[in-house]
Amino acid sequence: MRLRRWLTGILVVVAVIAGTLYWLTRPPENLTVASWGDAYQQAQTVSFFHPFVDKTSIDLDGAIYGGGLAEIRQQIEAGNVEWDVVDFDLADAAAACREGLLEPIDALALPAGANGEAATDDFVPGAIGPCWVGTVVYSQMIVVAPNNFAEAPRAVADFFDLERFPGGRGLRDAGPEYTLPFALLADGVAPAEVYALLEMEAGAARAFAKLDGIKDAIVWWRRPNEAIDMLSRGDTVMTTALNGRAFDAVLANAELSLIFDGQLYGLDVFGIPLGSPAKERALEFIAFASSVEPLAHMASRVPYGPARRSASALVGANPISGVEMLPLLPTAAANFTNAVLIDPEWWTQNGAPLRARWDAWRAE
DSSP result, 67-118:
SSSHHHHHHHHTT----SEEEEEHHHHHHHHHTT-B----GGGSPP-TTS--
Within a domain: 334: no
Within a domain: 329: no
Are 88 and 270 contacting, i.e. CB atoms less than 8 angstroms apart? yes
Are 140 and 261 contacting, i.e. CB atoms less than 8 angstroms apart? no
pLDDT of amino acid 51 = 98
- CA–CA gap between residue 354 and residue 351 (Å, rounded): 5
- Residues 163 and 279 placed together within one structural domain of the fold: no
- Residues 38 and 151 placed together within one structural domain of the fold: no
C-alpha distance from residue 83 to each of 21, 34, 72, 284 (Å): 28, 6, 8, 15
- Residues 82 and 157 placed together within one structural domain of the fold: no
Q: What is the pLDDT of residues 198-223, one digit of tens each?
A: 999 999 999 999 999 999 999 999 99
Q: What is the pLDDT of residues 275-332, one digit of tens each?
A: 999 999 999 999 999 999 999 999 999 999 999 999 999 999 999 999 999 999 999 9
pLDDT of amino acid 253 = 85
- The total domain count for the chain is 2
Q: What is the pLDDT of residues 107-125, one digit of tens each?
A: 999 999 999 999 999 999 9
Q: In the beta sheet, which residues pair with residue 241?
A: 141
- Residues 217 and 345 placed together within one structural domain of the fold: yes
Within a domain: 204: yes
- Residues 89 and 107 placed together within one structural domain of the fold: yes
Average pLDDT, the chain: 93
Within a domain: 23: no
- CA–CA gap between residue 140 and residue 251 (Å, rounded): 17
* Residue-range definition of the domain harbouring residue 144: 138-266+341-363
- Residues 86 and 222 placed together within one structural domain of the fold: no
Q: What is the pLDDT of residues 83-96, one digit of tens each?
A: 999 999 999 999 99
- Residues 220 and 262 placed together within one structural domain of the fold: yes
Q: Which residues contact 105 (CB under 8 A, 6 or more apart)?
A: 129, 130, 131, 132, 133, 271, 272, 283, 286
Residue scoring higher pLDDT (28 or 350):
350
What are the phi and psi torsion angles at 63 (to 5°)? -135, 160
Are 19 and 71 contacting, i.e. CB atoms less than 8 angstroms apart? no
pLDDT of amino acid 8 = 45
Within a domain: 256: yes
Within a domain: 129: yes
- Residues 225 and 294 placed together within one structural domain of the fold: no
**Percent of the chain with pLDDT strictly greater than 90:** 91
- CA–CA gap between residue 166 and residue 149 (Å, rounded): 9
**Gap between the terminal Cα atoms of the chain:** 101
pTM: 0.91
Strand (E) or helix (H) holding 285? helix 279-289
- Residues 203 and 245 placed together within one structural domain of the fold: yes
- Residues 254 and 131 placed together within one structural domain of the fold: no
User: What's 112's domain CATH number?
Assistant: 3.40.190.10
What are the phi and psi torsion angles at 172 (to 5°)? -75, 125
- Residues 294 and 252 placed together within one structural domain of the fold: no
Q: How far is CA 358 from the centre of its chain?
A: 26
Residue 5 has pLDDT above 90, yes or no: no
Residue 12 has pLDDT above 60, yes or no: no
Q: In the beta sheet, which residues pair with residue 220?
A: 171
Within a domain: 346: yes
Q: Residue 82 — pLDDT band, cuts 50, 70, 90?
A: very high
Within a domain: 11: no
Average pLDDT for residues 133-158, to the nearest whole number? 97
pLDDT of amino acid 254 = 79
- Residues 44 and 108 placed together within one structural domain of the fold: yes
